[in-house]
Structure 1
Amino acid sequence: MNDFWSAVILGIVEGLTEFLPVSSTGHMILTAHLIGFTGEKAKTFEIVVQLGAVLAVFVLYWRRFFGFLNLKRSLSNSGRVNLIHIALAMLPAVVVGLALHDLVKKYLFGPGTVLISLVAGGILIIIADRARVRVTAETMDDITYKQAFGIGLFQCLALWPGFSRSGSTISGGILLGTSQKAAAEFTFIVSVPIMFAATFLDLYKSRDLLSMDDLGLFVTGLAASFIVAMIAVVTFLNIIKRLSLSWFAYYRFVLAIVFYLILFL
């Protein structure tokens, strides 16, 4: 398939799935194998295209992010999520990600490992959905520092492609006493700095594989991801209070079975 259309397709897949608990990276890896867009450059594209979805969140929550720029106000306002919450949620994944980056990209960016993590992540979602943990953080601004750090620990699971960042953090948040909506919004906010960091780290480490000829490909994927993610985030927040998370787990199980039949039988 023409690389341009591959970029468009993968950008749409990324935008639709980045903030749903179904694993955008897993979907892109599986889709890329179906359309024949593979190799080291494709692996880098699959990470960089996430920037489009990140920019969509930044646009939707721009007032919150600009509020963080006022450090004194941000850190002193104990009644709202602040930079300390963000730092605590980022710390575990940053440390583990830096330590295991090369191993993850070498051994876990394949369809077989993604299918396993789709199932494992689905099991975690069902456990969280059926747990009867008392909600102590009804809104994002009710989240404590302890809960923020705990969500960050769960986010480490998302280093395994297919596990899903939003799936692991929303499930973790629920198990730690946040509402589904609070965990989802906090996941969106935290995703921006950590995905920027992960993207630029990967670009730096893959600099020898890329050239200016790839710019159009990357921009195309970013644009498609941005537009679709804007719609997907708003839609997800509108339905998450009414929809059981388990439905996303069932979808993951079906997806794993379908792709196993397509790719391995």
Structure 2
Amino acid sequence: MTDLLTVIVLGIVEGITEFLPVSSTGHLILATRLLGYDAERWALFNVVIQLGAILAITVLYWRTVWTVMSGMLRGDAGSIRFVRNVLVGFLPAAAVGLVVHRQVEALLGNAEVVAIALAVGGVAILLVERLAKPGTVRGVADIPLPTVVAIGFIQCLAMVPGVSRSGATILGALSLGVERRTAAEFSFFLAIPTMLGASALEIFKNRHALTAGGAVGPLSIAIGFVVSFVVALVVVRWFINLVGRHGFGPFAWYRIVAGSAALVWLLNG
């Protein structure tokens, strides 16, 4: 596979999976094995293109972002609660990530862990969908602070590749009484500081590759960024509409089938 085609494929994978409860990191790890490319060579690329997906969220929800930011300047209570919830929800992952980052990095090359986590996560989604009572909390600003803290710690489960950051936060929110659309939107906004922090850390660690000219050049990174951004724009709109009509069941079954198929392939490969 040529580098340009790899750039486009990885950008599409990132854009599709980043905000769906299916694990973008897990899919990129499986793509490493399936396409046979050098994961270490493309590591920085995979991190930077996540910023394209973040930009997609800020564009799609620009009215909300503008309202919250202008409300903060006016001292609006709802805007303050909104920002508080996003930042508090981010803190557990930041703290835990600093402590266990070496252990997490050790798992990133383990495709078998990804396959198992995909399948198990699919079963978890089905259970939450069946057992969780209909949520009553509507609006990111209205999520109670204890619930926000709990969701923040649940997000830490996504440090295991294949679990899915969005899946963990959405399921956690649903099980704690947040209605579906608000759970998904809180997950989107929570991704902004979480992914910015993770990306900044990885870019800092790989700063010499950036300044000295890494294995994957600036043009390839730029193309992957744009592809990720455009694909995420389309996927997030579709995702919100699908969840409103059918819930998270389709993603659960996808995870179970994809994880099981990947595990069979890996064990017999």
* TM-score clears 0.5: yes
Compare 115-124 and 188-197 and name the one that shifted more.
115-124
8 Å CA contact 1:16, 1:229 repeated in 2:
yes
Assess if the C-alpha contact under 8 Å between 1:43 and 1:109 holds in 2: no
Task: Give the equivalent residue in structure 1 for 2:28.
Answer: 28
**What is the CA–CA distance in structure 2 between the aligned matches of 1:75 and 1:113, rounded to whole Å?**
46
| Compared CA separation, residues 264 and 207, structure 1 to 2 (3 A) | farther
Trace 1:107-256 onto structure 2 (pairs within 5 A): 107-210=107-210, 211-212=212-213, 214-256=217-259
Unaligned ranges ≥5, structure 1: none
Q: How many residue pairs get matched?
A: 265
Q: Identity of counterpart residues, as a percentage?
A: 38
| Cα separation, 1, equivalents of 2:243 and 2:186 | 14
Query: Which is worse superposed, 128-137 or 55-64?
Result: 128-137
Letter in 1 for 2:213: M
Distance of 2:74 and 2:229 partners within structure 1: 27
CA distance in 2, matches of 1:15, 1:74: 35
Which residue in 1 is equivalent to 2:266? Answer: 263
Q: Tell me the alpha carbon deviations over residues 68-114 of structure 1, each in whole angstroms, 9 at most, x when there is no partner.
A: 44474576423775211011110111111121222211233321111
Q: How far apart are 1:24 and its partner, in Å?
A: 1.1
Amino acid at match of 1:226: F
Shift of 1:171: 0.3
- Note if contact 1:170-1:187 (Cα within 8 Å) is conserved in structure 2: yes
For residues 68 and 102 of structure 1, the distance between their equivalents in structure 2, rounded to whole angstroms, comes to: 36
Structure 1 residues 203-231: Cα deviation after superposition (integer angstroms, max 9, x where no partner): 11123445435212211111110000000
Aligned mates of 1:129, 1:155 — CA distance in 2: 18
Deviation per CA, 1:122-172, whole angstroms, max 9, x where unpaired?
232122111232522133343222222221111111111111111111100
CA distance in 1, matches of 2:235, 2:200: 24
- 8 Å Cα contact 2:71-2:79 kept in structure 1: no
Structure 2 gaps, min length 5:
none
Is the deviation greater in 45-54 or in 65-74? Answer: 65-74
Moved more, 224-233 or 99-108: 99-108
Q: Which residue of 1 aligns with 2:66?
A: 66
Using the size of structure 1 for normalisation, the TM-score is: 0.92
| Partner Cα separation in structure 2 for residue 148 and residue 109 of structure 1 | 31
CA contact 2:17–2:24 (8 Å) conserved in 1:
yes
CA distance in 2, matches of 1:83, 1:93: 17
Task: Measure, in 2, the Cα distance between the counterparts of 1:100 and 1:222.
Answer: 28
2:245 aligns to what SS in structure 1?
coil
